[in-house]
Chain A
Amino acid sequence: MRRIVVLAALMLTLLAQSAWAKTIIFASDATWPPMEFVGPDKEMTGFAIDYMKAAGKEAGFTPEFKAVAWDGIFAGLAANKYDAICSSVSITDERKNAMDFSVPYFKVRQALVVPADSKAKTLADMKGKTLGAQISTTGHFAVKKADGVKDKSYDEVGLAIEDLFNGRIDGVVCDDPVAAQYALQNDKYKGKLKIAAVLETGEDEFYGIALKKGDKANLELINKGIEAVKAKGIDKELMKKWIGQ
């Protein structure tokens, strides 16, 4: 009898928990400052992390973040390892075929980072040079599309920046907040690197939360959260805090 009571109580608490605050597990490649990275206290932090926490508070879900390597992050989503990806995923048509996206939460452009003494002004000036980017990011796709540019793909954007700093490659293409973080704010690279250009690709690029195809319940919840954050102007505060504009 007692066992049944305990079991019932347990079930009830579980049910109640899921009714009050659903836990959504987000995968994140925490190597993308200032959007998502591991802070000095070994906790994942950054603009996107704060954004999702705020969205969770608004829409009534508890976000849980799981560190996952970028390479294979989409495969993990398809294999049910987590519910969503919150890792500066740009919404592209190819990706839309494989997964669903939330409403956009951040507008992003691709920036070209070069050594401070470089004279390059656009991507076209980099003809015959080697450009690095993180594997399978939109920056990497932009480099691949550029004429006469040799591309090099890295596991992490930080490794590409370090290689640029060490003089092995001539430039790095990555998302503009990340480029700004490395070229303008990072103590080590500040003054040694600069942003040569923000690339005009003709189309606007946005970050979205990636979800498994057909996952309506979580999609609605996340969308509700993002809309609420935008409506309350919390996103502006976060921009000021993490990106400084």
Chain B
Amino acid sequence: MQTKPPVQIIEQHDGPAIPRKSDKGLVSAWWLSLIAAVGTLLYLILVEQGAYLRLIKFVPDGIVITFQVTIFSIISALFLGLLTGLGRVSRNRWINLIASTYVEIVRGIPLLVQLFYIYYALGRFVRVPDMVAAVVAMAVCYGAYLGEIFRAGILAIDKGQTEAARSLGFSRAQTMRYVILPQAMRIILPPVGNEFIMLLKDTSLVSILAVADLLRRGREFASETFLYFETYTVVALIYLIITLILSKMVSRLEERLSFYVRK
């Protein structure tokens, strides 16, 4: 008598599993967070009133400063990061060395120390306004991180792309500009967006330079009224709301650039 051959289990794959995006559901994490944050803030201002109402009248100019520092820092850091990234993949030894040294040095010093250094230590020689010092310090710090992300993005593009473009008669610069960078952009957008959000939060450190940003305004209010709990609750909620808006902008950009991505 013959026994049946053991059943063979064959696993079937349709390619790698692609996780479903969380914000495709009925309610996304983003909306949930935003509604919670705005709802709490409105509740505190409209229902609790008192200290919260006074506080919300006290901080708006701080929010504007935080916004300004963030926007200017992001723009300058992007520019600096792109230069650094290109420098890091450059075939010119000297450009490469300069870019790498910049990354090594800046990445090794905490942002808070850099802020102190640029503002108080270099303040002896260059008397720049505090806002400029803040933006320069943020841009210099985040330029190094962004440079590494740009480098990773450029290196991630298949060498065949360069070979193909070069054999079609593109120059090196044209290859970079029309073939490599557009593809790299798509890859680096998520980590770059992450850096943007980190940068926004790290702008709270510039309050050490006597820049009247959101955190400093909050601290001034708290130290005068002794309402620490109320103040930092509101400051945290405002930071959360600004960050959520920025993260939405980044994810919108990601969607627009994702026409190659499998869905």
Q: Do A and B come from one complex?
A: yes
A-side interface residues toward B, CB under 8 Å? 71-72, 74-75, 78, 94, 98, 132, 135-136, 141, 152-155, 159-160, 162-163, 166-168
Which residues of B sit under 8 angstroms from A98, Cβ to Cβ?
A: 226
A136 touches B123 (CB 8 A): no
Q: Is the interface of B mostly helix, strand, loop or mixed?
A: helix
- Pairs across A and B, CB under 8 Å, 16 listed: A71-B223, A72-B223, A72-B228, A78-B226, A94-B224, A98-B226, A135-B223, A136-B223, A136-B224, A154-B210, A159-B210, A162-B120, A162-B123, A163-B120, A163-B210, A168-B123
Docked Cα-Cα span, A161 to B224, in Å, equals 22
Docked Cα-Cα span, A160 to B119, in Å, equals 12
B124 touches A166 (CB 8 A): yes
B210 touches A153 (CB 8 A): yes
The distance from the CB of B51 to the nearest CB of chain A, in whole angstroms, is 13
Q: Is B130 an interface residue (CB 8 A)?
A: yes
Interface string of B217-237 (1 = CB under 8 A from A): 001101110101000000000
Which residues of B sit under 8 angstroms from A160, Cβ to Cβ?
A: 210
Identity of the chain B residue whose Cβ is nearest the Cβ of A76 in the assembled complex = B228
A-B pair number, CB within 8 angstroms: 48
B210 touches A167 (CB 8 A): no
- Using known A-B contacts A78-B226, A162-B120, A163-B210, determine if residue A153 contacts B220 with beta carbons closer than 8 Å: yes
Which residues of A sit under 8 angstroms from B210, Cβ to Cβ?
A: 132, 152-154, 159-160, 163
Interface string of B160-177 (1 = CB under 8 A from A): 000000000000000000
A74 touches B223 (CB 8 A): yes
**6 tightest A-B CB contacts, nearest first:** A136-B223, A166-B123, A75-B228, A152-B210, A98-B226, A154-B210
Name the residue in B127, B210, B220 with the highest tally of chain A Cβ atoms < 10 Å from its Cβ. B210
The distance from the CB of B131 to the nearest CB of chain A, in whole angstroms, is 11
Docked Cα-Cα span, A210 to B127, in Å, equals 39
The distance from the CB of B214 to the nearest CB of chain A, in whole angstroms, is 14
Docked Cα-Cα span, A43 to B228, in Å, equals 30
Name the residue in B127, B223, B228 with the highest tally of chain A Cβ atoms < 10 Å from its Cβ. B223
- Using known A-B contacts A152-B210, A153-B210, A159-B120, determine if residue A71 contacts B226 with beta carbons closer than 8 Å: no
Q: Is B208 an interface residue (CB 8 A)?
A: yes
Interface string of B32-68 (1 = CB under 8 A from A): 0000000000000000000000000000000000000
Q: Is B136 an interface residue (CB 8 A)?
A: no
Q: Is the interface of A mostly helix, strand, loop or mixed?
A: mixed
Identity of the chain B residue whose Cβ is nearest the Cβ of A169 in the assembled complex = B210
Docked Cα-Cα span, A231 to B216, in Å, equals 43
B-side interface residues toward A, CB under 8 Å? 120, 123-124, 127, 129-130, 208, 210, 212, 216, 219-220, 222-224, 226, 228
* Other A-B pairs, 12, CB within 8 Å; known A78-B226, A152-B210, A168-B129: A72-B223, A74-B223, A135-B216, A141-B224, A152-B212, A162-B123, A163-B120, A163-B123, A167-B127, A168-B123, A168-B127, A168-B130
Which residues of B sit under 8 angstroms from A168, Cβ to Cβ?
A: 123, 127, 129-130
The distance from the CB of B64 to the nearest CB of chain A, in whole angstroms, is 16
Which residues of A sit under 8 angstroms from B130, Cβ to Cβ?
A: 168
Docked Cα-Cα span, A74 to B220, in Å, equals 13
Docked Cα-Cα span, A98 to B228, in Å, equals 12
Docked Cα-Cα span, A159 to B220, in Å, equals 17
A74 touches B120 (CB 8 A): no
- Using known A-B contacts A98-B226, A152-B210, A155-B208, determine if residue A136 contacts B220 with beta carbons closer than 8 Å: yes
Docked Cα-Cα span, A94 to B226, in Å, equals 10
Docked Cα-Cα span, A71 to B208, in Å, equals 12
Which residues of B sit under 8 angstroms from A141, Cβ to Cβ?
A: 224
Which residues of A sit under 8 angstroms from B208, Cβ to Cβ?
A: 155
Which residues of B sit under 8 angstroms from A152, Cβ to Cβ?
A: 210, 212
Docked Cα-Cα span, A167 to B130, in Å, equals 12
The distance from the CB of B76 to the nearest CB of chain A, in whole angstroms, is 21
Which residues of B sit under 8 angstroms from A136, Cβ to Cβ?
A: 219-220, 223-224
